[in-house]
């Protein structure tokens, strides 16, 4: 959510080449180097048509109209650049939300010289209607401006921002002339119209539009134990609690996917409001009570409030563990963590992102805190990850490793790395990247198991067309995980001269995996991994370079069959450790493994596929 004070950064001025007419637009989606803007259809037509649309008076960058519809009066624009503009987030405001307080940040022409200026105005939604086109109906509202401002020429296309949530719920379309009240009444179309006018709407945006029903609406159902609004705590003084303590309790209380939904908050009122939506106020106060720096008076107040709300629910006892105990719970089992990394092409650069997740928490006990994705690479308003060239990726990834280790301090854990790569980089020697291990640099693959993943499997067409088959293939794999596999379970590819992509795809359908015992030429790599994807094969092992005078078939079979299948990635890691102590002629220097679990995707993809809170 964008702070209302920062709304101006997301607003653009829509003009024509001649600058005779203006309107307002706002940024809401970004794809690689392109930013998508939303405005009104009549604004586009008013600036002399689609071919003459300009953004922020820039005549050098053309604007593409990707969707436009007159009845609902919306238009989607696409422009290269504007990568520093924060994106506004969307939400459908369902039900009879009359009197909802709103903010309308827009542009208008000032003075006799008609100079474009920006000004936000506040108002309320006071009447709900419907706009009808054929069989489609979309909610529209009348707006009443309640501050000293007024709707003027140029506000068309301005976002209608719900002050309670900070999300865009509609687009301002018209002002209504009423003599002395001119500009104090206007109309807006609900943001739900966006799906009606844009057939190719990205799933990310489509998911945002479901916020009201799947996030707020569903989460308000259920027990009254957590039905706590910020106003419920008028006597609690949070000023004696450090911001760090409050933020830690807040983050520990949010559901697993809250980080993806960007529920940031920098004050206690906003924190309580966000937790109220998730029904997690109770958990928040539980965490606060256990924080060591809470003043006794506030701790007692919190306990009293919790006892009033849930007298039958006992509070956890404070164990008063010594701070010198590096592992507070010595009986705790070793926890399994996964570091998910993704390297996506972005023109001549790559976008790197990484997350840490506890994979033991997927079916955790009710009293165990939610498992979250912890972001390991700082994102900003323009990108989810960091932009770098291929040579810089190892250095940036090393930073993510260090951040993961810092998050795992005082834990007993095992860590594996899964790296999503485009097909053309599947032979990149990630396992040979150097990381600092105490006081020396070691190859990454000797320190952690490395599992390669296909970036193309995260693409929407693949997930929609092959997702079910992929899950079935993995379910079949799970039956073999406890046992040592036999070589015949893996399709064997050795001859490269007559490689046939479609024939390999057919053969893979009868196997649980693929073993490639000769180095494949780069010329067939794209087709090779396409066949693996299309067959939804979850496991593949291959050698990147041929080694003279080495029986590669026998050695790879030994890796495959020497241990239970679930230990295969560790078996490859052990070969890499052996190789690190020997020469480049060792198999471990050249092995790569693909391990495709469809139930473990990156959080940005999960955001597009599942409802929030799940």
Q: Rounded to two decimals, what is the model's pTM?
A: 0.51
Residues 150 and 299 in one domain: no
- In contact, 100 and 93? CB cutoff 8 Å: yes
The CATH number covering residue 39 comes to 2.40.10.120
Other residues' Cβ atoms within 10 Å of the Cβ of residue 581: 9
Residues 482 and 599 in one domain: yes
Residues 477 and 614 in one domain: yes
**Contact residues for 341 (Cβ-Cβ < 8 A; gap 6+):** 352, 353, 354, 397, 400, 417, 418, 419, 420
DSSP for residue 213:
I
DSSP for residue 89:
P
Residues 178 and 246 in one domain: no
Please report whether residue 440 resides in a domain. Answer: no
- In this structure, is the dihedral angle defined by the CA atoms of residues 499, 501, 502 and 506, taken in order, positive or negative? positive
Which pLDDT score is estimated for 135? 65
Please report whether residue 348 resides in a domain. Answer: no
Other residues' Cβ atoms within 10 Å of the Cβ of residue 51: 11
Helical H segments across 82-222, by residue range: 193-197, 203-208, 211, 218-219
Residues recorded for the chain:
614
Based on the structure, what is the number of domains in the chain? 3
| Model pLDDT for residues 192-244, shown as the tens digit of each residue | 899 889 988 887 788 777 655 433 433 333 333 334 444 445 566 677 788 78
List the Cα angle 284/285/287 in 5-degree steps: 70
Residues 162 and 242 in one domain: no
Rounded to whole angstroms, how far apart are CA atoms 176 and 370? Answer: 49
Please report whether residue 591 resides in a domain. Answer: yes
Please report whether residue 208 resides in a domain. Answer: yes
Which pLDDT score is estimated for 331? 54
Residues 285 and 198 in one domain: no
| Model pLDDT for residues 34-71, shown as the tens digit of each residue | 899 999 999 998 887 788 888 888 877 888 999 999 88
Residues 230 and 165 in one domain: no
Which pLDDT score is estimated for 610? 55
Please report whether residue 345 resides in a domain. Answer: no
Which pLDDT score is estimated for 231? 45
Domain containing 589: what range?
Answer: 463-614
Residues 62 and 155 in one domain: yes
- The last residue of a domain, from among 218, 239, 262: 218
314-350 core/surface letters (b: 16 or more CB in 10 A; e: else): eeeeeeeeeeeeeeeeeeeeeeebbbbbbbbeeeeeb
Name the helix (H) or strand (E) containing 44: helix 41-46
Residues 169 and 44 in one domain: yes
Please report whether residue 265 resides in a domain. Answer: yes
Please report whether residue 61 resides in a domain. Answer: yes
Residues 196 and 231 in one domain: no
The position carrying tokens 């966000």 is 274
Q: Helices 552-561 and 568-580 meet at what angle, rounded to 10?
A: 130
- The last residue of a domain, from among 198, 218, 238: 218
Residues 505 and 596 in one domain: yes
Report the SS3 class of residue 604: helix
Residues 606 and 546 in one domain: yes
Please report whether residue 284 resides in a domain. Answer: yes
- The last residue of a domain, from among 290, 309, 328: 309
Query: In angstroms, how far is CA 253 from the centroid of its own chain?
Result: 19
Low-confidence ranges of the chain (pLDDT < 70): 1-6, 17-20, 94-99, 134-135, 177-181, 210-237, 255-267, 269-270, 273-274, 276-280, 306-333, 360-371, 379-384, 607-614
């Amino acid at each position: 959510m964008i702070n209302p004070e920062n709304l101006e950064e997301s607003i653009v001025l829509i003009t024509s080449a001649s600058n005779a007419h203006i309107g307002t637009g706002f940024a809401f989606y970004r794809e690689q180097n392109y930013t998508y803007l939303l405005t009104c259809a009549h604004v586009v037509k008013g600036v002399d048509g689609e071919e003459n649309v300009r953004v922020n008076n820039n005549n050098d960058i053309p604007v593409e109209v990707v969707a436009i519809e007159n009845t609902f009066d919306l238009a989607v624009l696409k422009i290269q650049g504007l990568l520093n503009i924060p994106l506004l987030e969307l939400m459908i405001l369902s039900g009879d939300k009359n009197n909802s307080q709103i903010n309308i940040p827009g542009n208008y022409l000032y003075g006799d010289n008609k100079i474009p200026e920006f000004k936000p105005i506040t108002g309320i939604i006071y009447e709900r209607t419907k706009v009808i086109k054929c069989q489609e109906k979309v909610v529209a509202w009348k707006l009443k401006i309640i501050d000293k401002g007024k709707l003027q020429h140029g506000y068309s296309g301005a976002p209608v921002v719900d002050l309670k949530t900070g999300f865009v719920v509609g687009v301002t379309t018209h002002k209504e002339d009423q003599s002395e009240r001119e500009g104090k009444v206007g109309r807006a179309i609900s943001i739900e119209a966006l799906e009606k006018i844009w057939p190719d709407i990205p799933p990310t945006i489509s998911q945002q539009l479901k916020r009201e029903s799947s996030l707020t609406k569903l989460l308000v159902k259920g027990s009254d134990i957590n039905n706590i609004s910020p106003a419920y705590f008028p006597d609690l003084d949070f000023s004696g609690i450090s911001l760090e303590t409050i933020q830690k309790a807040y983050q520990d209380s949010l559901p697993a996917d809250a980080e993806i939904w960007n529920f940031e908050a920098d004050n206690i009122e906003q924190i309580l409001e966000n937790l109220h939506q998730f029904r997690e106020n109770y958990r928040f106060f539980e965490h606060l009570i256990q924080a060591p720096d809470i003043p006794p008076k506030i701790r007692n107040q919190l306990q009293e409030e919790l006892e009033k709300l849930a007298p039958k629910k006992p509070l956890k006892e404070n164990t008063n563990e010594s701070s010198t105990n590096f592992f507070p719970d010595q009986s705790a089992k070793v926890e399994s963590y996964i570091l998910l990394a993704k390297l996506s092409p972005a023109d001549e650069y790559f976008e790197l992102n990484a997350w840490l997740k506890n994979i033991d928490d997927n079916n955790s006990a009710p009293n165990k805190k939610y498992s979250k994705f912890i972001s390991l690479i700082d994102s900003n308003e323009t990108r989810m990850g960091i932009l770098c060239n291929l040579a810089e990726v190892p250095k940036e990834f090393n930073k993510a490793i260090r951040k993961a280790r810092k998050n795992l301090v005082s834990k007993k854990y095992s860590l594996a790395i899964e790296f999503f790569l485009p097909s053309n980089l599947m032979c990149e020697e990630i396992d040979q990247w150097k990381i600092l291990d105490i006081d020396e640099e070691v190859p990454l693959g000797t320190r952690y198991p490395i599992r390669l993943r296909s970036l193309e499997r995260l693409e929407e067409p693949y997930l929609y067309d092959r997702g079910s088959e992929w899950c079935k293939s993995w379910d079949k794999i799970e039956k073999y995980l406890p046992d040592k596999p036999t070589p015949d379970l893996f399709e064997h590819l050795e001859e490269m001269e007559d490689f046939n992509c479609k024939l390999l795809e057919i053969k893979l359908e009868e196997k649980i995996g693929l073993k490639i015992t000769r180095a494949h030429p780069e010329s067939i790599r794209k087709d090779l991994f396409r066949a693996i994807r299309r067959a939804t094969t979850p496991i593949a092992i291959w050698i990147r370079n041929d080694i003279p005078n080495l029986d590669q078939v026998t050695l790879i079979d030994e890796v495959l069959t020497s241990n239970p299948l679930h230990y295969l990635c560790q078996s490859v890691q052990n070969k890499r450790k052996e190789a690190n102590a020997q020469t480049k002629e060792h198999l471990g220097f050249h092995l790569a493994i693909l391990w495709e679990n469809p139930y473990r995707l990156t959080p940005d993809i999960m955001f597009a596929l599942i409802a929030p809170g799940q």
